[in-house]
Amino acid sequence: MDPIVIEGTSKTPSVNFNASTGVLELKGRSIPENSIEFYKPLIEWIEKYGATPQAKTVVNVQLEYFNTSSSKCILDVIKRLEAIANNGHDVVINWHYEEDDEDMLEAGEDYQSIIKVPFKMIEVEA
């Protein structure tokens, strides 16, 4: 399965989804005017990956900002990961947030309260 590698822009995050390592990364800003258009191929990739996932899938999320339309799409991404976990595979989400960024920590905790996938909150230097 081909990886997805997308460079980040001022409005969209960098993406590196690798099926052979089981490591999925999303970094930067997610504030596009049309979030659904950006996230649709990512969600489709995870659905396909979910058919034959690695024994352990590690998801690294390190977002600086995301708008509310992205927040719905990110939830959809995480729901697909939850489905992989529900099929008996190991999935962990490393949610990175800058030390003074309470909003981003809170956003991670919100997802954690909705989705039953292990979240690891990781504080990083600003």
Q: Does 82 bind another protein (CB under 8 A)?
A: no
**Residues of 3-28 as b/e, b for ≥16 C-beta within 10 angstroms?**
ebeeeeeebbbebbbbbeebbbbbbb
The residue from 3, 101, 120, 121 that contacts another protein (CB under 8 A) is 101
User: CA–CA separation, 90 vs 12, rounded Å?
Assistant: 28
Instruction: Calculate the CA 76 to chain-centre distance.
Output: 9
* Contact string 9-38 vs another protein (x = CB under 8 A): -xx-------------------x-xxxx--
User: CA–CA separation, 31 vs 50, rounded Å?
Assistant: 27
Q: Does 99 bind another protein (CB under 8 A)?
A: no
Q: Does 124 bind another protein (CB under 8 A)?
A: no
Q: How far is the CB of 126 from another protein (least distance, A)?
A: 9
Chain residues that interact with another protein, rule: CB under 8 A: 10-11, 31, 33-36, 64-65, 67-73, 75, 98, 100-103, 110, 113-114
